[in-house]
Amino acid sequence: MKGSCLINSSIVLGLRIIGKGFSAGKKLCAFLGLPFLSKLAFRNQERKLLKATERVAQENINTALSEIKGSNSFTKCGISIDGTWQRRGYSSLNGCNYYGIAIRSNVGNLQKMMSSVIAAFFHCVSGKNNSLHGQCPEGSESWCRYQKAKAAGSPLKEIEQGSPNKIIN
Ligand SMILES: [Zn+2]
């Protein structure tokens, strides 16, 4: 990727991660006296990022699926995909499937899909020394067990290590 392209992708991704869009980026750059992407270029960057996240999500889903297929018993799989996004067991496959849910439940809504995928990504890499559930939906109905526990008034203690920062960055 060329330097200027990388900066464009990075700024669009950065804005999306903090929950902002084209207008916020335009304002920020105007304030700093920097040039900013046209609306069309911004949307193109978003589309590229979406394709990349979709590809990663699909790879994750495929890995999770082959993990399930590889195990002898379906009872090992603690995922419930019944629309409630509830967690019914403990499985390393659980987090990966949030990407799939995030994508499938937001078809046709690029903005929502992006933020859901980003939330799922941060949720998946979150760990005990690095809690990253800020983008996860809040409340007792959340698919995120951290937010769910928080809503219930008994904050969850993360036990897993989480992904190393190298992967997150
Ligand atoms: Zn979470």
**CA 145 to centroid of ligand 1, rounded, Å:** 6
b (16+ CB within 10 A) / e for 128-149? eeeebbebbeeeeebbbbbbbb
**CA 22 to centroid of ligand 1, rounded, Å:** 26
**CA 97 to centroid of ligand 1, rounded, Å:** 13
- The encoded tokens of residue 87 equal 């967690």
Rounded to whole angstroms, the Cα distance separating 99 from 57 reads 6
Q: What are the mean pLDDT values of the chain's consecutive 10-residue runs (169 residues total)?
A: 72 84 93 92 90 81 69 45 41 52 68 75 77 84 87 78 49
pTM here is 0.42
